[in-house]
């Protein structure tokens, strides 16, 4: 399931963050690549221990903690600290799959990468190319979102970033371990939660159908979740 998480940041917030990024030092993006992906990766990243990266990463996590679409779609248990990359001058990231396990730097914590996220900080008309291509059950999906929006997709998916031939594509990327490991189960819960919210808006919290579906939702989470 591919899920667009809209309006993680406003345009003004994006502008503020971009200003911080432009003042930071960037390094070769291969520093966080595995052996396979490193062979097809050409871009630049903020160092993981950069004060700028940490400050913006905390800002992202704070924004997502209150975002209902993200919480419903991801059901996050652990989130890898956000990383940041930029592409330009023909840079790209060839076809690859993300590592199954990620160790959080400076800790003994490891996360299973159930979901991958890309949060865009460049507007689509700022650059040519740079589409995120994700292979899923319905074929290859091309993603190029407005600045401030984010795409969530299963980390099991083959994906790539096409060459950026004009301008720069700037984004944050990270992974998360969900309380519900199975992609299909997580998608069904997201659809059910969306239906409950729609019914609640029209029927109210205490309508019998809303209560029954809410009970079903929580019982399924109880059965499938691994915290």
Give the pLDDT score at 37.
62
Based on the fold, state whether residues 85 and 22 are members of the same structural domain.
yes
Are both 113 and 142 inside the same structural domain? yes
pTM: 0.93
Same domain, 205 and 156: no
What is the residue range of 28's domain? 3-178
State whether 171 and 212 are in the same domain. no
Residue 21 is predicted with a pLDDT of 97
**In the prediction, which pLDDT does 38 show?**
62
Distance, in Å, from the CA atom of 35 to the CA atom of 153, rounded to the nearest integer, reads: 22
pLDDT at residue 31 in the model: 72
What CATH number does the domain containing 142 carry?
2.60.120.620
Verify that 196 and 141 share a domain, yes or no: no
Same domain, 89 and 198: no
SS3 at position 223: helix
What is the CATH classification number for the domain harbouring 207?
4.10.860
- Dist CA 122 CA 18 (whole Å): 9
Distances (CA, A) of 136 to 130, 154, 178, 187: 19, 9, 19, 14
* Domain end call among 162, 178, 194: 178
Cα distances (Å, whole numbers) of residue 145 to 113, 115, 125, 142, 150: 22, 18, 10, 10, 7
Domain total in the chain? 2
Asked whether residue 135 falls in the same domain as residue 213, the answer is no
Low-confidence ranges of the chain (pLDDT < 50): none
pLDDT of residue 34: 58
Residues 148/8, Cβ–Cβ less than 8 Å: yes
Contact 100, 113 (CB under 8 A): yes
């Amino acid at each position: 399931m591919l899920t667009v998480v809209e309006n993680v940041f406003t345009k003004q917030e994006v502008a503020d963050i971009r200003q911080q990024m432009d003042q930071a030092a960037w390094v070769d993006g291969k520093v966080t690549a595995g052996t396979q992906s490193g062979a097809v990766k050409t871009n630049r990243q903020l160092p993981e221990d950069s004060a700028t990266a940490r400050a913006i990463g905390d800002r992202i996590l704070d924004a997502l903690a209150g975002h209902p679409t993200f919480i419903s779609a991801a059901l996050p248990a652990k989130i890898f600290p956000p990383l940041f990359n930029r592409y330009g001058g023909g840079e790209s990231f060839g076809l690859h799959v993300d590592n199954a396990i990620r160790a959080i730097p400076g800790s003994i914590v490891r996360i299973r990468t159930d979901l991958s996220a890309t949060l865009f900080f460049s507007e689509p008309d700022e650059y040519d190319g740079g589409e995120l291509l994700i292979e899923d059950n319905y074929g290859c999906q091309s993603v190029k979102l407005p600045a401030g929006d984010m795409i969530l997709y299963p980390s099991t998916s083959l994906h790539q970033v096409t060459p950026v031939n004009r301008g720069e594509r700037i984004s944050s990327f990270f992974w998360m371990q969900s309380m519900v490991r199975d992609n299909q189960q997580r998608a069904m819960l997201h659809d059910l939660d969306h239906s409950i919210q729609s019914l609640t808006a029209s029927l109210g919290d205490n309508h019998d159908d809303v209560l029954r579906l809410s009970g079903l939702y929580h019982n399924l989470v109880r059965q499938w979740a691994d915290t």
